[in-house]
């Protein structure tokens, strides 16, 4: 078995599982609920998605050849809620994931041990991928928590229901 190819297959499935959890969660929200936040110091779903999109564009564009923190990224702006609609937010959600999957699907087994940089720090491709899996899973977890709170008894489970 080619371990590198198996790894690439596994991470594709992992990223897809994270996105699918997010998709199933976001489907449950009304337009207004996308903008809900518990307090002024918390991020709403729009901001979390805007941040994920900025991160995905920066990390996955020219993945093997340029620093993963692009000079044109304005990270602070990712935390400004300037959305007009749920549709605008979902377009960013899909755009970020498309960039990620396009890059992941182009990786080959001989790429996984190559070195790249993120914020000037060296990482193997494996390290960079694992870093992003953890990052996106944590943000999708935040989204799930917010939506479960908003929906309360109207929450539709996205995995195995209790007692099943």
CATH assignment at residue 124: 1.20.120.450
Q: What is the mean pLDDT of the chain?
A: 94
Residue at 24 is within a domain: yes
Using pLDDT thresholds of 50, 70 and 90, give the confidence band for residue 1: low
Using pLDDT thresholds of 50, 70 and 90, give the confidence band for residue 49: very high
Residues above pLDDT 70, as percent of the chain: 99
Residue at 77 is within a domain: yes
pLDDT on residue 164 = 74
Backbone angles phi, psi at 85, to 5 degrees: -155, 160
The residue range of the domain holding 112 is 3-154
Q: How many domains does the chain have?
A: 1
Q: Please provide the DSSP assignment of 88-152 as one string.
A: HHHHHHHHHHHHHHHHHHH--GGGTT-EEEETTEEEEHHHHHHHHHHHHHHHHHHHHHHHHHHHG
Residue at 164 is within a domain: no
Residue range 52-61: mean pLDDT, rounded: 97
Residue at 160 is within a domain: no
- The 10s digit of each residue's pLDDT in 34-44 is 999 989 899 99
Instruction: Please determine, for residue 71, whether its predicted confidence score (pLDDT) is greater than 70.
Output: yes
Instruction: Please determine, for residue 110, whether its predicted confidence score (pLDDT) is greater than 80.
Output: yes
Residue at 161 is within a domain: no
CB 129 within 8 A of CB 111: no
CB 116 within 8 A of CB 105: no
Residue at 36 is within a domain: yes
């Amino acid at each position: 078995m080619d371990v590198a190819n198996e790894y690439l297959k596994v991470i594709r499935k992992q990223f897809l599982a994270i996105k699918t959890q997010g998709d199933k969660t976001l489907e449950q929200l009304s337009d207004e609920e996308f903008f809900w936040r518990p307090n002024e110091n918390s991020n709403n779903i729009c901001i979390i998605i805007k941040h994920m999109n900025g991160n995905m564009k920066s990390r996955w564009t020219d993945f093997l050849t340029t620093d993963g923190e692009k000079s044109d990224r304005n990270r602070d702006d990712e935390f400004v809620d300037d959305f007009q609609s749920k549709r605008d937010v979902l377009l960013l959600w899909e755009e970020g994931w498309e960039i990620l999957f396009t890059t992941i699907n182009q990786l080959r087994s001989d790429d996984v041990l190559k070195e790249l940089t993120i914020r000037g720090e060296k990482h193997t491709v494996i390290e960079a991928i694992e870093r992003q899996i953890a990052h996106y899973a944590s943000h999708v977890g935040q989204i799930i928590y917010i939506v479960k709170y908003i929906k309360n008894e109207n929450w539709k489970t996205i995995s195995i229901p209790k007692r099943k």
